[in-house]
Amino acid sequence: MNIINVGYRSTNYYALEIKNGKLLFDCGWPGTMPQFTAELKRKGITPTEIKYVLVSHFHTDHAGLVQEFRNLGAKFILLESQVHFIKPLNDFHKRKKTPFAEIFEDGNLILKFEDSRKFLASIGLSGEIIATPGHSDDSITLILDEGFAFTGDLPPRSLVPDEDRITKESWNKIYSHKITRIYPAHGNSSS
Ligand SMILES: [Zn+2]
């Protein structure tokens, strides 16, 4: 699997090779499309190669550029648990008057977790998407059968206090798969 980190401003964004293009896992920081585009080009990717965008959760550094990629022709995939998180993010940015492109609620591909494996297979990825709440209720993890987990902002497993049962359970779910490498949204990947 060709995983290209196209991150900047201490956030990792991952471009994954799929049939006929790339899937982008997270894309953030409103108003930074020129920087993102430059970073993609530096890594040999044309922005229009991004066919799908998936976000770990709806915080501004992870979902800040979704609509701008949609405008370039990418399809936005969101999980059933994430649907109601678009509006709060849109409202937040409207209130703050940031350079955020409002995410359209229609025209997206809404996936059930149980259908994620089939969908990923259809675009050439072998894996699944699971709900991993903890950092936020809408947080998801993309698992590739090669042993890779893209965990977004889920706090590192070793730092989760025992009383945080939700996050602990999310890590247990992740490690019920054969995992050899974790790709977090901040910091380095680790085995
Ligand atoms: Zn976050």
Q: Is 147 helix (H, G, I), strand (E, B) or coil?
A: coil
- CA of 41 from ligand 1 middle (Å) equals 26
What spacing in Å lies between the alpha carbon of 151 and ligand 1's midpoint? 11
23 confidence band (pLDDT: 50, 70, 90): very high
Residue 65 pLDDT exceeds 90: yes
Beta strand pairing status for 75-79 and 50-54? Answer: parallel
Cα separation, 67 vs 128, whole angstroms: 24
Spans of all domains in the chain: 3-184
Task: Please tell me the distance between residue 27's alpha carbon and the centre of ligand 1 in angstroms.
Answer: 12
Average pLDDT along the chain: 97
Gap from CA of 1 to ligand 1 centroid (Å) = 26
Interval between CA 57 and ligand 1 midpoint (Å): 7
How far, in Å, from the CA of 29 to the mean position of ligand 1? 12
Q: How far is the CA of 62 from the centre of ligand 1 (A)?
A: 7
Look up the pTM and report it.
Answer: 0.97
At residue 48 the predicted structure's pLDDT band, cuts being 50, 70 and 90, is very high
Give residue 56's identity as a one-letter amino acid code. S
Nearest to 120, CA basis, from 152, 143, 146, 86: 143
Confidence of residue 51 (pLDDT cuts 50, 70, 90): very high
* pLDDT attached to residue 33: 97
Which structure tokens are listed for 179? 């995992």
Residue 8 has pLDDT above 90, yes or no: yes
Residue range 119-148, pLDDT digits in tens: 999 999 999 999 999 999 999 999 999 999
β-pair partners for 50: 22
For the domain covering 3-184, report its CATH number: 3.60.15.10
pLDDT score of 82 more than 90: yes
Q: How far is the CA of 66 from the centre of ligand 1 (A)?
A: 15
Res 7 pLDDT > 90? yes
